[in-house]
Structures are given as C-alpha cells and as structure tokens.
Amino acid sequence: MSGNRSIRMRWRRRTAAEPADLVVPYWQAHDEELLSAGLGAIARRLPALVHDAIRVAWQASRTDTAAALVLTVLAGLFTAFGLLATNDVLESLFAAGATADRVRAAIPALLLVGTAAALRAGMLAVAAWAQERLKPQVERLAETRLFRLTTRVELTAFDDEEFHNSMQRARDNGVPDSATVVEMTVNVLTGAIGVLSAAVTLGVLHPALMPLLLVTAVPDAWAALRSARMRYAAFRRVSTARRRKFLLSDLMAERPPAAEVRAFTLRRFLLGEYDRIAEYEQRVELDVAWQRATTRMTGDLLGGVALAAVYGTLGLMLAFGFLPLAVVGTAVLTIRASQSSLASLVQSVNKLYEAGLYFGDYLEFCAMAERFVPPERTARLDPFRRIAAESVRFTYPGADTPALDGVSVAVERGEIVALVGENGSGKTTLAKLLAGLYAPDSGTVRWNDADLADVDGDTLRERISVIAQDHTRWPLTAAQNITMGRPRDDERMAEAARAAGADAVLARLDDGYETLLDRRFRGGQELSGGQWQRIAIARAFYRDADVMIFDEPTSALDPRAEHALFERIRHHAAGRTVVLISHRLFSVRYADRIYVLDRGRVVEQGTHPDLLRTGGRYAQLYELQAAAYREPSSAC
Ligand SMILES: Nc1ncnc2c1ncn2[C@@H]1O[C@H](COP(=O)(O)OP(=O)(O)OP(=O)(O)O)[C@@H](O)[C@H]1O
C-alpha cells in the first residue's frame, strides 16, 4: 500500500465517527486527487503549473515577476560560488605552515565568501520583496477578472447549478490560490536552485559526492511530504465543520438574527450545535498533531541515520586518501545547507500542486463564464412605441416544466398593463423576459419591431427599469440607493422620492439623503420593509426609463400608502409605460389591460370591467378579495 493511500485509509478509520452532516461537500472537489497524487503525478503537472503561474504573474506585474525570477536564479549562483570559495578557505586553513600564514592565505577566499553571502542575501531579500508585491497584484487581477465575468454573464447562468458551484469554488479557493500558485512557484524555484547549487558544488568537489546528497535528502523529503499531506487532509476534513461553525457564529453574534434567537429561545440549541462541531474539529486536530509529530520524529531519526552514514562514508574517503580534509569539510557544509533548501522545495512543490488544482478550477470557471457572456449585439433602439412577447416559451435551467409556455402579451406606449395570477404562475418570469434579463427558449420579445435578441442588454436596460419583488437593500446612502450609479441630480432625486412616497421616510433620517442605510456601519440606520420599498420605487422613477416594471411594489405597504402609491404611479407615469405585477386586484383595476396568468399561460386578458363581465378566473379572484374586505370576520 502506498504511503498516501495509507494516510487516506487511516483518515477514513479515524474519522469514521464524523457527524453525517459534516461530510465533504462539492467545493472540496480535489480531496481524493490531492491525497492520492504520487510524486510522478505531481512532477508531470509541475511544468504546466509553473507556466500558468508565471503567465498570471507576468500579467499582474512584469517588473516584479522579472525581479523575483532573475534575482532568485542569481542568488542560487552566488550560493554555489560561496560554497566553492569556502573550499578554498578550508584548503588554505588546512595547508601546512604557520597558523598566521595559513590565515593570511585564506583571507582573499574569505572575502569572496563574505561578498557572495552578502550579495546572495541582498538578492534574496529583493526577490522576496518582489514576491510579496506580486501576491496582492495577482489576487486583485484574478478577482477583478472573476467579477468582470460574473457581472457580465447572462442571468440564466446563476440558475445553472454547475456554473454556480464552479463560481463558488473559483471565489473561495481559486482567487486566493492564484496568489499562492505564484508564491509557491518562486519558492519552488528558490528551493530547486538551492539544491542544484549544492549538487553542482559537490560535483565540482568530487563527482562521487553527488549521490551522498540524495541519501540525506530522501528521509527529509519523505517526512516533509507526508506531514504536509496530513495537514492538508486534516484541514479538508474540518473545513465543512469550519464553514458550519462560521455560520453558527454569525447566527449567534450578528444583528439580523439576534431578535429571532431570543424570540425562539434558540440559544441552547445554537450553542449545542456549535459545541458539537467544535468538538469534532478539535478531535481531528489533536489526531493530526500526534500523527505529524510521529512522522517528524521518524523523518528526523531516519535523517540522522542517513547523515551518520554519509559522514561515515566521508570519513572513510578521507582515511583512504580519496578526498582531502578541506573537501570533506566543504561537503559537510554543503550537505547541511542543502537540507533546508530541500525541505522547503518539497513543501512548496506539494503546496503548489494543491493550490494549482484550485487555480485550475478558477481558470476553468473563467472559460465557462466566457461561454455565458452574451455575444456582441448592435441593433439600435428606436423611440419606444410598444414592447411585446410573442408566443414565448421559457424553462429555467434544470427545471422539468416551462415557467412560460406560449405566452403573448403587448404593452403599448403610455399604457399601464397589469400581470396577475396565483403564486408561481409565471408573472415575474414574464417581466424578466420583457426586460431582456432572460431570453426566451422560443418565441420573440420585441421592442417596436426589433427582436431583443439583437439588442445589447445594457442599451435595453437604460430604457427599461425593473423593481424586483426581492429588490436589494443596498448598503449605501439613501441618495445612492435612489440614483444607483447614475449622475446625481438633487432636484430629480427629490422629485422621484416624492413620487414614490419616500420623501417622508427621508425627512426622518438623521442625515437625510446622506444617511447610510446599513446599521452594521457607524451612523447607519435601518428602514422598515415598506420604507425600503418606497426607496426602491424612487429608484425606478429616478431612472426615467421608457418602461417601468414594478413587481409587487406594494407588498410591504400599508393600505393607505398602497392606495397613494398606485395613484402616484398612475400620475407620475403619465406618458410613460408601466408593467405592474400585483396580487391586490383592487389596485390594478385601473390598468389599461390586465393579463391573467395560470401555470405559465395567459388564460384571460382585458380591462377590469371586461374581465368581471367574463366571469372567469379573474372575476372569481376579485370577488374573493372583495368579500374578504366586506366581511372582515370571515376573512380571519
Ligand atoms: N430561478 C428559478 N429556477 C427555477 N425555477 C424557477 C426560478 N424562478 C422561478 N421558478 C419557477 O418558475 C415558475 C414561475 O415562477 P415566477 O416567479 O415567475 O412566478 P410568479 O407568478 O411571479 O409567482 P409569485 O406570485 O409567487 O411571485 C414557478 O414554478 C417557479 O417555481
């Protein structure tokens, strides 16, 4: 059984009692691969990894990359030079003659050793500085590229499970590991050059000395690799537990859930969960601490035996006159110096391989995301006359049934059109198709005569504003929440706030429009659900788009505010076009046209009086709601 497999088996046995809910999840995609990868697999992947790392580092900063690489190589050359100069020092010191003469003879070589050491130290320090500088630059580059893609891809990408998981892996591990890959590449280079300099020095001193380096290297390399694998295995085993622990700590120490923790007396439950997970994490860490200690001890023991064998061999070579004393002395110094380079080389290779797998995920995600980026579209948008969906069909990725099936609706300029229907009937999906956020699988959505499939998404969204049902509560100032990235115009902002009924909300805030709407920050304030909704509506008015889509804009408003808002929408929208989604049929009765959806199809359409006359589904729903208002006791 290979060493790696035995680590894996032992982990299986040791962690057999791990709680079932803490099993390894999707984001730890490479565990098996990492734990089973032998030196051969690592060595095969290394060149590609180093190539990828240098490429990304080069993109981040040419100067720092060049400095890190060139200075590391030069420092290696000075290491070899210094060791060979040490041999000259020892030769002079061990030569026959008076002590003062021997020391004097050694001085030029000593100066060379000192100069080489100083230059080497200087170069390594600058290389390390360049390496440190590279880390944040590489991480920023990787993160920026990721967010450029995540904000550009089609919205459907976020409904695709594979995309979602891949994005999480790229964000959680890929981005930080991009910097690790670069850092470890430089470390591998440093370690490899250190070992190479030692090998070259020994080769120059006497070719027979080179194999001795290998003998001392093996136990150290074995212990370093095995210990690193154990640490990694333990880290992976507890990482699910850690994520759960972070979630629990947020639940116990963050503001939003604090009220419910008390209201539902969740304290004991949460603390119990926390304790269960923390206890598991501690058990795993204590296990690995012991295993790593024994591995290190075994490595040191074997290393000591190997070193004794090497020194014994050197002693014999000296005794039988194969080597002069100075060469033996230099060989001992060289072997000692190479050992730390070797340990760092092995650990860096291992870490590079590990980080490389996650960095590979990041590159894979970027390639996948590029496929979700909409193609360049050039069709221009004429002044708005109408927007219409024609026989559109749309199925969410992974869903069995279509959310919309053969739906046709039309919204003419200046109209207020309402979409109504029971939960899940497809209203929000249709609104998103009209706004160009989703593209239909079949059928067409047209702006005048132009197919939205030919129109650039950003151009379209300048002309259509959507206030989503689950609109975001942006942790920004009230003003920023209304202007939302548009140039600020105080007069227009105040007008939009007035139209949305948000002016009264803003008047009560300590700093008015400048108030930060997030209690987690100093001076921040919190709004109620209805107040947030008014701010969101003000945002729609501020955008001054041709078409405004409101998805349940009044769900959190009290009846008086709701009535006032619908009145304002009717007046403020004068000349503009509104698509309104609402469950409150009382509020949509003034719409120019009402579409009733049911299970992804339009089942009725017309004005409020038309639909009441038809006596269909709308009439039934309207009657039901009206009855609830007429008979408050039966509505309870
Ligand atoms: N992101 C999604 N992925 C998969 N299915 C979805 C997604 N969003 C909605 N659906 C499904 O599509 C159907 C239509 O949903 P939609 O949100 O359009 O309904 P709705 O009429 O707006 O409902 P509600 O009145 O509850 O807001 C539902 O069956 C829903 O489960």
Rounded average pLDDT over 57-77 = 93
Strand 577-581 and strand 416-421: the pairing is: parallel
Task: Give the mutation target among 409, 428, 551 for probing the ligand 1 site: most ligand atoms within 8 A of CB.
Answer: 428
Neighbour-count burial for 516-555, b at 16+ CB within 10 Å, e otherwise = bbbeeeeeeeebeebbbbbbbbbbbbbbbbbbbbbbbbbe
For helices 559-572 and 529-543, the axis angle rounded to 10 degrees is 0
Residue 598 Cα to ligand 1 midpoint, Å, equals: 12
In eight-state DSSP terms, residue 231 is H
Nearest to 217 by CA among 129, 112, 98, 310: 310
Task: Determine the pLDDT at residue 64.
Answer: 95
Task: Determine the pLDDT at residue 635.
Answer: 41
Look at residue 630 and tell me whether its pLDDT is greater than 90: no
Residues, the chain: 636
CATH of 27-372, picked from 3.40.718.10, 1.10.260.40, 1.20.1560.10, 1.20.5.510, is 1.20.1560.10
Task: Determine the pLDDT at residue 135.
Answer: 93
Is the distance from CB of 595 to CB of 400 less than 8 angstroms? no
Residue 472 Cα to ligand 1 midpoint, Å, equals: 18
Residue 539 Cα to ligand 1 midpoint, Å, equals: 24
ipTM above 0.85, yes or no: yes
Look at residue 160 and tell me whether its pLDDT is greater than 70: yes
Task: Determine the pLDDT at residue 31.
Answer: 59
Look at residue 39 and tell me whether its pLDDT is greater than 70: no
Q: Looking at ligand 1, which atom is closest to the CA of residue 583? A: 25
Task: Determine the pLDDT at residue 237.
Answer: 76
Distance CA 39, CA 397 (A): 41
Residue 592 Cα to ligand 1 midpoint, Å, equals: 25
Look at residue 126 and tell me whether its pLDDT is greater than 90: yes
Residue 470 Cα to ligand 1 midpoint, Å, equals: 12
Rounded average pLDDT over 147-169 = 87
Backbone angles phi, psi at 595, to 5 degrees: -105, 130
Q: Looking at ligand 1, which atom is closest to the CA of residue 597? A: 21
Atom 12 of ligand 1, nearest CA residue: 403
Look at residue 25 and tell me whether its pLDDT is greater than 70: no
Residue 426 Cα to ligand 1 midpoint, Å, equals: 6
Task: Give the mutation target among 393, 425, 549 for probing the ligand 1 site: most ligand atoms within 8 A of CB.
Answer: 425
Q: Looking at ligand 1, which atom is closest to the CA of residue 430? A: 18
- Residue 150 binned pLDDT confidence (cut-offs 50, 70, 90): very high
Amino acid at 433: L
Task: Determine the pLDDT at residue 158.
Answer: 87
Residue 624 Cα to ligand 1 midpoint, Å, equals: 23
Delimit the CATH 1.20.1560.10 region(s) of the chain: 27-372
Look at residue 59 and tell me whether its pLDDT is greater than 80: yes
Residue 617 Cα to ligand 1 midpoint, Å, equals: 20
Residue 50 Cα to ligand 1 midpoint, Å, equals: 46
- Residue 7 binned pLDDT confidence (cut-offs 50, 70, 90): very low
Predicted confidence (pLDDT) per residue in 362-394, tens digit: 998 999 999 999 888 877 888 889 999 999 999
Look at residue 454 and tell me whether its pLDDT is greater than 50: yes
For the chain, first and last CA: distance in Å? 70
Please give the radius of gyration of the chain, using alpha carbons only, rounded to the nearest integer.
Answer: 35
Task: Give the mutation target among 158, 159, 396, 437 for probing the ligand 1 site: most ligand atoms within 8 A of CB.
Answer: 396
- Residue 9 binned pLDDT confidence (cut-offs 50, 70, 90): very low
Delimit the CATH 3.40.50.300 region(s) of the chain: 386-470+544-635
Atom 6 of ligand 1, nearest CA residue: 396
Task: Give the mutation target among 395, 429, 470 for probing the ligand 1 site: most ligand atoms within 8 A of CB.
Answer: 429
Task: Determine the pLDDT at residue 3.
Answer: 45
Q: Looking at ligand 1, which atom is closest to the CA of residue 419? A: 21
Percent helix, strand, coil in the chain, to 5, is 70, 10, 20
Predicted confidence (pLDDT) per residue in 282-339, tens digit: 998 898 899 889 998 998 899 889 888 888 988 888 888 888 888 888 888 888 888 8
Atom 4 of ligand 1, nearest CA residue: 396
Task: Determine the pLDDT at residue 405.
Answer: 94
Task: Determine the pLDDT at residue 574.
Answer: 61
CA distances from 523 to 461, 473, 509 (A): 33, 17, 11
Distance CA 92, CA 109 (A): 9
CA distances from 531 to 479, 482, 497 (A): 14, 13, 11
Look at residue 422 and tell me whether its pLDDT is greater than 80: yes
Average pLDDT, rounded, for the chain: 84
Residue 424 Cα to ligand 1 midpoint, Å, equals: 5
Predicted confidence (pLDDT) per residue in 74-123, tens digit: 998 888 888 888 888 887 777 777 777 877 878 888 898 899 899 999 99
Q: Could you write out the DSSP letters of every residue in 494-536?
A: HHHHHHHT-HHHHHHSTTGGG-BS-TTSTT-----HHHHHHHH
Residue 588 Cα to ligand 1 midpoint, Å, equals: 21
- Residue 575 binned pLDDT confidence (cut-offs 50, 70, 90): low
Domain 386-470+544-635 belongs in CATH node 3.40.50.300: yes
Lining ligand 1 with CB less than 6 A are 159, 396, 399, 403, 421, 423-429, 469
Task: Determine the pLDDT at residue 469.
Answer: 78
Atom 5 of ligand 1, nearest CA residue: 396
Q: Looking at ligand 1, which atom is closest to the CA of residue 425? A: 21
Task: Determine the pLDDT at residue 394.
Answer: 96
Look at residue 148 and tell me whether its pLDDT is greater than 60: yes
Task: Determine the pLDDT at residue 30.
Answer: 60
Q: Annotate 432-473 with three-state secondary structure.
A: HHHCCCCCCCEEEEEECCEEHHHECHHHHHHHEEEECCCCCC
Atom 11 of ligand 1, nearest CA residue: 403
- Residue 28 binned pLDDT confidence (cut-offs 50, 70, 90): low
Rounded average pLDDT over 600-622 = 92
Task: Determine the pLDDT at residue 12.
Answer: 43
Residue 156 Cα to ligand 1 midpoint, Å, equals: 13
Token digits of residue 50: 């180093």
| Residue with the larger pLDDT of the pair 39 and 138 | 138
